[in-house]
A and B are shown apart, each in its own frame.
Chain A
C-alpha cells in the first residue's frame, strides 16, 4: 500500500514538471511575450519595458527563467500579479472559496440526484422513467451550459423574480440566506451536465452489479430486494464511480468558466479568464500549476479511496 502510493506520487511529480515546462514555454512564446500588456500602456516607453524586463529577469535564457520560477514556486513564492501586485497565492485564495461554494453545492447535487436517477433507471430498465432519464441526459449533455444559464435567468429572474441574476451576494447583505439565494440558480444550472453524466455512468454500473452472481446469491438467501439494492448492488456499483469522482474533483476547485461568467460569480474560472485577458502571466501560470496539482491529487485520492473501500486492493 505505501509502496503503491510512493509509486503514484513519483509519477505525479514527473507529470507536474512536464506540465509546468510546457505551460511555461507556451506562455513565453505568445506574441509580445510576458510584458505585452505593458506595451499597450501609452505611459510606458520602450526603455521602461526594457528596464522592467531586466528587473523581472525576463531577458535571461528561458531555461534559467524556468528554474528560477520553479525554485521559487517550490518555496511558496508563486510570483506577483501584474494587475495589482498582490501575490499569486493571495489572488487564488481570494477566488477559491467562491468556487468551492458553487462547485461543492452543484457536485453534491449532481451526485445525489444523478445516483438516484441512475439506480432507478437500472432497476426499472426500459420503463417510462428510464426513457425520460435517457432523453433528459442527452439533452442536458448536448445543450451548452450558458444557454441553460441564460434561460434560467430569463425565467426565474426576469419573469418570476425568484432568484438574483448573478453575483455571490448582494452588496450590504452577505447573510447566509443571501449567499444561498444567490447560489441556487448557478449551482442547479451547473449540476445539469453533471447529473446527466453521473446518472448515465451510475445506470451502467448498477446494471452491471445487478447481473452479478452474488445478487442472485443474496436473493436465494431470502434477503429483501431493498437490502439487496442498498447493501449489495449500490456498494459494488459505486466502486467504479469513485474513479469518475476523482476525475471530477479538480473542477471543484478550478471552477466553471462559462457558468461563472454567465452568473458573474467571482470564482476561479472568472479569474482565469480575466487574467488571460489582461495577460497576467504569473497568475495564469499559477492557475495552471494549481489545476495540474489538483488533477493529480484528485486521481491519487480516488485511488486511495478505492483502495480503502475495496478489500481486494486494500489487503493485497
Chain B
C-alpha cells in the first residue's frame, strides 16, 4: 500500500473500498487481478482511477457494481456503501442497488446500447426495472433526462434507435440512462476513450456539470492523464492490480511520489510546441507529391435517385521530402484513413495524382504498381488483428520479400536482424503473435514494414491501441529508424499530442480537406484555421504555452 487507509465510514465518504483483493482463475499470468486496494470516494467529488491496461482498474469498478464474470471473484476485502458491505451481498440486493444507487457508463457507446430498442425505451427500462413511476411518468422523465444531457430535439430523440446517433450523442444517452434514478454514485469506465477529442471535451464538461449540479460522487476510470488533469478532484494510480499512489489531483499531478506515476506522467505525449530537429535532407526532390487527390464514396443507386455521395478525400495536395514525417491529423470521418489507403493504393482514387519518386502511381493498375509496393509500406493500427495468428513471426516477416523474389535465406537473415533492431530477441522469429504483448506486436509490425527497405512508411494510428508508456517507446523507435534509414513517413493519427511528438509537419484534415498545414509550433501555438483552434483547445489537460504546470480546472 502506498498510503495508509483513511478512516472508513466517515460522513463525507460515499463509497469506501478496503483491502479489496480479486483473484483470477488459475493459470493466468497473475494470481490477483486486484490486490489489497483501498480508497475512498468522497461525496460530491470526482475520483479518477488511472492505470494502463491490465492495471485492474476496470476489475475494481466491476467488483463494486457486482458485475464481475463468474470466473473472477472477490476473495477478500470490503466495499462499503451507505454502511453496507457490497461484497457477499445477494445478487438480488446488488441488482436493486445497480442503476438506483450506483450507475455505470461504459467506454464504447456504440455497442453499449441495444440496437433493437429505441433510446426512450432503454432509458425507461432503468425505471421500470426498479418499479419507479408509471409508464406515463417514466416517459416524461426520460424526455427530461434527454434535455438534461443536452440532446437536441428530445421528443424525436426519444423514438430514435441508437444507430442513428453519433458517438457523442450515444454517450449522452448512456449518461441519461445512468442518471435516471438520481444515483449517489456514478462509475464511468473510460467513457471518452472511444470519442473524438472535441466530443471528449464536451462529454467531460457534461459529466463535470452534472456532478456539480447534483452533488454526485463520480468514480472516473481512465488511462489518460490529460483527462485526469481536466476533471479529477482526487486520483488513485494503479499498476498491475495494486494501488501505487493516491492523493489529491494537484498533489499527484504536480509532485508524484511513486516512480511508476512519474514514469506514466513523463510518458504522456505533450504538445511540445517545439519543432522536431529535422534530418539533414540528402536530396531535396520530394519522395511523394500528391496533387488534388479526390476520393468519393457512393452508395445506393443513381437510377432510383437514392444515391448518397460522401467526399472522403476532397482535393488534397501535399509533398513529402526524404527523411521527413508528415502528420495527418483529424477526427473520425475526416478522411485521414482514406487518404492513407489511397496512397498505398488499397483504394483507387477518383482523380488527382500521386507522384512517387516522380512517377504518377494514381493511374497504375495493380500489376503495374506491384513492383513499387515494397517501397511503400504500411504499419497498421491494431497489432492484434494485423498479424496472422497462425503464422510464426518469421513467416510473417519473410513472406512478403520472398514473394517479391528475395532468397529465403537472405530474408531470414534480414528478419532476425530487424527483430533485434526493433528491440525483440532473436527467439521471436519462431514464435506466434499471440505470445507477444501489444507493444511487442507493433514492433513486429514495424519490422515487417522495414523488410523491404521502404522509401515511405505509412503509419495509420500506429500507436493508438497502445498504453502511453508503450506508445512513447514505439514513437522513439520510429524516430530512431527514420534517423537511421532516412525513410519518409506519413503518420496518421487522431491524437494531436502524439503527432506533435514525431512529426516535422502536420496536416489537419476536416471533411476530406486539409484545412491547415504547418510545423507543430504553428499548429499548436498559432493555429490559423478555426477548426485547428477548436481541435487544440479540446485536448484534455493541455495549455500549450504553460506546460508543464497544468492542474485541474478550477
Contacts and interface: CB of A to CB of B under 8 A. Distances in A.
Nearest to A238: B116
A219 B67 contact: yes
A311 B67 contact: no
A266 B405 CA distance: 66
Contact of B65 (A7, A212, A214, A220): A220
A66 to B, nearest CB: 31
Interface stretch (B42-50, B107-115, B428-436): B107-115
4 shortest A-B CB distances, which residue pairs? A222-B99, A222-B98, A213-B111, A311-B161
Contact of A222 (B97, B118, B174): B97
A311 B111 CA distance: 15
Contacts of A219: 65, 67, 98
A176 interface: no
Q: Is the interface of A mostly helix, strand, loop or mixed?
A: helix
Given A311-B163, A315-B164, A218 B114 contact: yes
Interface string A206-221: 0000001110111111
Contacts of A6: 304
A227 interface: yes
B104 A220 contact: yes
Q: Is the interface of B mostly helix, strand, loop or mixed?
A: loop
Given A217-B114, A235-B116, 7 more contacts: A3-B301, A3-B304, A216-B112, A220-B103, A222-B96, A232-B117, A236-B115
Interface of A: 3, 6-7, 212-214, 216-224, 227, 231-232, 235-236, 239, 309-312, 315-316
Contacts of B103: 220-221
Contact of B112 (A217, A236, A309): A217
A221 B304 contact: no
23 contacts: A3-B304, A3-B306, A6-B304, A213-B106, A213-B108, A214-B114, A216-B112, A217-B106, A217-B177, A218-B114, A220-B67, A220-B103, A221-B103, A221-B126, A221-B177, A222-B99, A222-B100, A222-B129, A232-B114, A239-B116, A311-B161, A311-B163, A312-B161
A110 B163 CA distance: 33
B114 A236 contact: yes
A41 B106 CA distance: 79
B108 A223 contact: no
A219 B99 CA distance: 9
Contacts of A3: 300-301, 304, 306
A316 B164 CA distance: 9
Contact of B125 (A7, A223, A310, A312): A223
B126 A312 contact: no
Interface in B169-185: 174, 177
Nearest to A233: B114
B115 A311 contact: yes
For A212, A218, A222, which residue has the most chain B Cβ atoms within 10 angstroms?
A222
Nearest to A313: B163
A221 B111 contact: no
A311 B116 contact: yes
Contacts of B161: 311-312, 315
B141 interface: no
A222 to B, nearest CB: 3
Contacts of A214: 111-115
